A and B are shown apart, each in its own frame.
Chain A
Amino acid sequence: MFRQIKVIYLGFISLLIGMRVTAQNFFAPAVTLDYPRKKKPMEHNFRGMVDLIPPDCVICYQCIKICPTAALFLSHTQKVEAEKKVKEITKFTFNAELCCFCGLCDEICPTDAIFMNKLYEVSAFSHDQILSIDLMNPNKYKHLDSNYSLDAEINDNKLRTVGIAPKPAPAAAAVAPAAGASPANPAAPAAPGPTTSTATETKPADGGPTTNPTTENKQPS
């Protein structure tokens, strides 16, 4: 009988100890922010929506080949201008529904033209608005988030440590690489590791899904 009473007494004390923990946490400061009045600034490497700096794109098709879900579509034409063959983008769209936000396109782009911006408060009224977002348009995300500005996103992108440090583009000065490489020095020389091998001799059809992946019929015997 006394053992039963002791069990009940000890059980009651354990409940009181638990309540003390809760009381201590009651007086601790809150860890959440009063959203939407206060917002948390996203980290430098945050993977938001896909964005593009059109003059930097060298139309190498690496992002199309590496995208696991075929969310990017690119087509180009060749013109002759001042006795030189010049490539020009005709259409570069992004399907936000298929995209899995993995960041592989950002990582593999040799000039860091395609990158992931910091947008996360996107919402659309209809499906068509996200199925083919025109990446060449500087106001592409304005109707999804009215605070969007391409220049601000390009500036934020310079602090990214993921992906390849951009080679100095022919038109721009060599300012961008210095700012991008400093926060993580061990990363910059090592990151180009996977890309130093030659890769351009493979055909797009082998490298990954360029069209609907289910139409690929590459099963070996």
Chain B
Amino acid sequence: MSDIEAKDKKDGELRSEEFVINMGPQHPSTHGVLYLELRLDGEIVKDCRPHIGYLHRSCEKIAENRTYIQFMPFTDRLDYLASMNNNLGYALAVEKLLNVQVTERAQYIRTIIAELNRVASHLIGIGTFAQDLGAYATPMFYCFRDREIIVELFDELCGGRLTYNYMRIGGVQTDLPAHADKFIKDFIKYERQKLKEYNELLTYNAIFLARTKKIGILKQETAISYAVTGPMLRASGFKWDLRKDEPYMIYDRFKFDIPVGKTGDSWDRFKVRLDEISESLKIIEQAIGGLPAGNPISKVNRVFKGPPGEVYMRTENPRGELGFYLVSDGGLKPYRNKIRSPSFSNLAVLPEMIRGLNVSDAVCVLGSTDIVMGEIDR
């Protein structure tokens, strides 16, 4: 049941047919299990319809049967490339509900870890985008090599490499190890060097520019009307970042810029992500310079009942605005936990962007939206 139906058309004396192809759930370049139904006329995409739901795991229903602490591992698996940020969003939402104060050291550690995970997530976005364009795996391996350093630190911290379960209600699970200070400072220096390499290898490369400039233009009004957030919105020229416009935690203490694109094409989205990595490195540098001593977690009862009420907490995920809407009725488990995922809205605007483009360009635009199916389907 789809309203994409191929139409026969007459073009003068040449009768041509449109046909429908499935870029099916298993495909090397749809990031995850996404099913795109494309109606093509020759090689030009006339319409596109994404079908989702292949990774649905009933996360929100499960939340109704788990206590607040028990749900933390499930938030890891939403946007599995930016696990720490999901943990953080959920922890902040529950803390807002319970009105818990977090210690200073925990705030700083949370900022450092969240920004490190933002760097890691953007690196994967950049690497896989370059792979979709045909630069066979070389930029992807470089990005994964850099991400490996971050993941090693996270492994030492909490034992996981992709799903961390690190944030707790009231702080973080473990304190930073003793050598983390020097490790992170060395990483910042190393990554700044490597960013220059990415600029040389990809950003100003003639073939890359030809493939991504003016492809998949997303206008500001369309983006806002579809509730697109994150780097996609900033690439369209609208300067909106929750860390600056509605600061949560201690983001108002740090000095950093918000990179904004001009036209909203794929190159702008790529460049915004690359620039956001340098901005995150600035934040990490400032945070680790001023790390106070103290407890990494404040005292919260192990078993607690949430006071009746509702709260909506939104944070800036690497992919956009992640929101947790928690409704509590006074019991040990939440009554409703609704998750607003950024990739859902970012994917919804895809048909607008790829009408009239080639199939190769459709693949490129899909890569530049940097979606994660775990978030969309939950």
Q: Is A43 a contact of B331 with CB atoms below 8 Å?
A: no
Query: Chain B: how many interface residues by the 8 Å CB criterion?
Result: 58
CB distance from B196 to the nearest CB of A (A): 9
From A201, which residue of chain B is reached at the shortest CB distance? B303
Distance between Cα atoms of A218 and B145 in the complex (Å) = 47
Q: Is A162 a contact of B159 with CB atoms below 8 Å?
A: yes
Candidates B293, B302, B330, B333; contact of A218 at CB < 8 Å:
B333
Distance between Cα atoms of A183 and B176 in the complex (Å) = 11
Which of A45, A195, A202 is most buried by chain B, counting CB atoms within 10 A of its CB?
Answer: A45
From A161, which residue of chain B is reached at the shortest CB distance? B174
Query: Chain A: how many interface residues by the 8 Å CB criterion?
Result: 55
Does A77 interact with chain B (Cβ within 8 Å)? no
Distance between Cα atoms of A183 and B177 in the complex (Å) = 8
* Given known A-B contacts A15-B205, A195-B302, A199-B302, A161 and B66 have beta carbons under 8 A apart: no
Residues of A within 8 A of B296 (CB): 186-187, 190
Does B230 interact with chain A (Cβ within 8 Å)? no
Q: Is A102 a contact of B295 with CB atoms below 8 Å?
A: no
Residues of B within 8 A of A189 (CB): 295
Residues of B within 8 A of A104 (CB): 69-70, 72-73, 165
Does B160 interact with chain A (Cβ within 8 Å)? yes
Residues of B within 8 A of A43 (CB): 152, 155-156, 159
Distance between Cα atoms of A202 and B302 in the complex (Å) = 11
Secondary structure at chain B's binding surface: helix, strand, loop or mixed?
loop
Q: Is B206 a contact of A12 with CB atoms below 8 Å?
A: yes
Does A124 interact with chain B (Cβ within 8 Å)? no
Does A55 interact with chain B (Cβ within 8 Å)? no
Does A196 interact with chain B (Cβ within 8 Å)? yes
A99-133: contact bitstring with B at CB < 8 Å (1 yes, 0 no)? 01111100110000000100000000000000000
B172-186: contact bitstring with A at CB < 8 Å (1 yes, 0 no)? 011101100000000
Distance between Cα atoms of A191 and B296 in the complex (Å) = 8
Which of A18, A196, A197, A207 is most buried by chain B, counting CB atoms within 10 A of its CB?
Answer: A18
Q: Is A116 a contact of B159 with CB atoms below 8 Å?
A: yes
* Given known A-B contacts A21-B200, A209-B65, A220 and B155 have beta carbons under 8 A apart: no
Distance between Cα atoms of A15 and B208 in the complex (Å) = 10
8 Å CB interface, A163-214 against B? 183-184, 186-187, 189-191, 193-197, 199, 202, 206-209, 213-214
Given contacts A47-B158, A68-B74, A218-B331, 6 further A-B contacts (CB under 8 A): A101-B160, A102-B163, A162-B173, A193-B300, A199-B301, A209-B66
